[in-house]
Structure formats: structure tokens, C-alpha cells
Amino acid sequence: MPPRFDRVAVIGVGLIGGSLALAGRAAGVFGRVVGAGRTLATLEEAVRRRVVDSYTVDPRGAVANADLVVLSVPVRAMAPVVAQCRDALRPGTIVTDVGSVKRYVLDAVEPLLPGGVSFVGAHPIAGTEASGVAAATADLFRGRRCVITPGPRSDAEAVSQVRALWETVGMKVVEMNPDQHDSALAWVSHLPHVLAFAASRAVDRHFPQAAGLAGPSFRSLTRVAASSAETWVDIFVANRAQIARAVDRFLTTVEELRHAICAATPEELRAWLEGSREAHQRQLRASREDK
């Protein structure tokens, strides 16, 4: 049975918050949606695009009487926003988030919430390098995976409502411990962003004239270097230990390939590359089976 949230507050009406507002409304699970944020122009655009019904720059006004509060600001901004509006939250409200790092958000947000307000963390693994409400679409989540990371204090009914919400907008939901989430995402999301930011920077630093000859391989490697720096500063800082570990291990593998290129026989190098191609095929199959 699909959930129903009559009054929804979306705090941070950008790509993800805006897309969830559109998807929830399209699926008929959201009634009235109030957007909250810090920039009037963004909020006015959200109303103009019919992403939200109304807006406020005061999160207290948005959360008072809400059944569901969605935190969709950068991960380090979530707790300060909750600290601003916690007094206006009423018992029975479910607070969820869409942040790309789960341990940091759980530890920062849950202790701030008053009794009777349940927090259920979520990470819809969907998105693009675009940001802002203009990039929001109702079908962003369809066919993708969402990880929910309940904490020790999450109410079972709230967990099942949040799960049902993401399923209703077309996602396959998995439940996971926040630390497991953060270590896995360090490899398959945060590391690719590190590589994209670093590759763009390295070419610019060492051989900027080569940019004119860049083809599809460079463009696909660096696509996500167009992502919002504000969003990614927070992800890198909030998951820095796991990301540093993944980068260290990655560098060891790059060093191994460098050695194979410089010192191995062509047959040995070929075997190394065949191993990577097989890993890539397995990874593609695994991500398709996940859907």
C-alpha cells in the first residue's frame, strides 16, 4: 500500500529535493509540499516550475505540522538546519534525508530531534552532474537503487513508510548499516568523483593544450567534474576516512598498472588488462541485477 504524506517540507529544493517533490506529487503520495531554503530566487523558481506549492526561507515555518520533512541540502548543512527548526517539529513527524554520506548525518541529526520525531536516513543513488531545481525531474529515481540506513532509534513504522516512499517513486530499496553504506559508496561514487576532479586538474596543470584533442574517453572520465563543488566538499569532508582509504588502495593499483606498462612483457600487460575487462563486465552485470 503506497504511503500518504499530506504535508511535506522539502528543505533544499535542488536537483534531489526538487525531483523527490515532483516524483512524490506525480505518484500521488504527497499532498501539499512546502519548500524551504536560503535563496529566494531558487524558491520562487521552484514554485514557478510547480515543484512545490509554496515556500519559506524559515525552516520552522516549513516543518510545523509536516508529516514528512526531507533534508536535501549538502550533508554538512543538515544538522544546522535541523537545529534551527527542531522546536517547531511535532511528535509523529518523520524526518528523512537524501544525503550521500550516512554515518555523519545520522550522528549529527538524530540527537537534535525532539522525542516522538523519528529519523530515517536515505540515499537515492540517482543524480547527474547538474544541480539546482531547474535540473529536477519526476523520473530521476525510476529504476535506480535507494539505500536506507535506519539508526538505533528509528521507529519501525517510520522505516517502512520511508521505504514505501522510495519504492513508490520507482526505486529498489535496500537497508544497510550507515558505515557499510559509506565504505561501499567511497569506492563506487566518491572515488570516481575524486578521479574526475583530479584528471581535469592534472591535464589543465600539465598539458592544457591537449584539451582540444579530448574525445569521448576523456569526456566520460571527467563528466562528474562538473558537479557542484558545494555538494562535494561536504561529501569529501563527511566521509574523508573511507575516501582516503579507497584512494590509497586505488593508487597502489595504478602503480601496479604503471609498472606493468613500463616493465612487464606485452603478454603480462595484456593479461592485466583482460583481468580489468572481466572485472568491468562483472560490475556491469551486478549493477543491472541490482535494479
Residues that bind ligand NAP (CB under 6 A): 12-17, 37-39, 42, 72-75, 77, 81, 98-100, 123-124, 127, 131-132, 228, 231, 235
Query: Cα–Cα distances in Å, from 158 out to 87, 147, 152, 155, 237?
Result: 20, 15, 13, 5, 29
Calpha distance 117→196 (Å, rounded): 39
Q: How many other C-beta atoms lie within 10 A of the C-beta of residue 39?
A: 11
Nearer Cβ to ligand NAP (154/239): 239
The distance of closest approach from Cβ of residue 81 to ligand NAP in the complex, given in angstroms and rounded to an integer, is 6
Nearer Cβ to ligand NAP (172/259): 172
Nearer Cβ to ligand NAP (140/246): 140
The distance of closest approach from Cβ of residue 258 to ligand NAP in the complex, given in angstroms and rounded to an integer, is 31
Element (H, E) at 94: strand 94-97
The distance of closest approach from Cβ of residue 167 to ligand NAP in the complex, given in angstroms and rounded to an integer, is 17
**What are residue 226's phi and psi, to 5 degrees?**
-80, -5
Nearer Cβ to ligand NAP (34/98): 98
The distance of closest approach from Cβ of residue 116 to ligand NAP in the complex, given in angstroms and rounded to an integer, is 25
Which amino acid is present at 29?
V
Angle formed by the axes of helices 266-289 and 240-263, nearest 10°: 150
Calpha distance 186→189 (Å, rounded): 6
Residues 6+ apart with CB under 8 A from 217: none
Calpha distance 131→231 (Å, rounded): 9
The distance of closest approach from Cβ of residue 203 to ligand NAP in the complex, given in angstroms and rounded to an integer, is 23
Could you please report the per-residue DSSP string of 261-284?
A: HHHS-HHHHHHHHHHHHHHHHHHH
Nearer Cβ to ligand NAP (176/260): 176
The distance of closest approach from Cβ of residue 222 to ligand NAP in the complex, given in angstroms and rounded to an integer, is 16
**Contact 151/110 with Cβ under 8 angstroms?**
yes
Nearer Cβ to ligand NAP (23/77): 77
Nearer Cβ to ligand NAP (7/181): 181
The distance of closest approach from Cβ of residue 73 to ligand NAP in the complex, given in angstroms and rounded to an integer, is 4
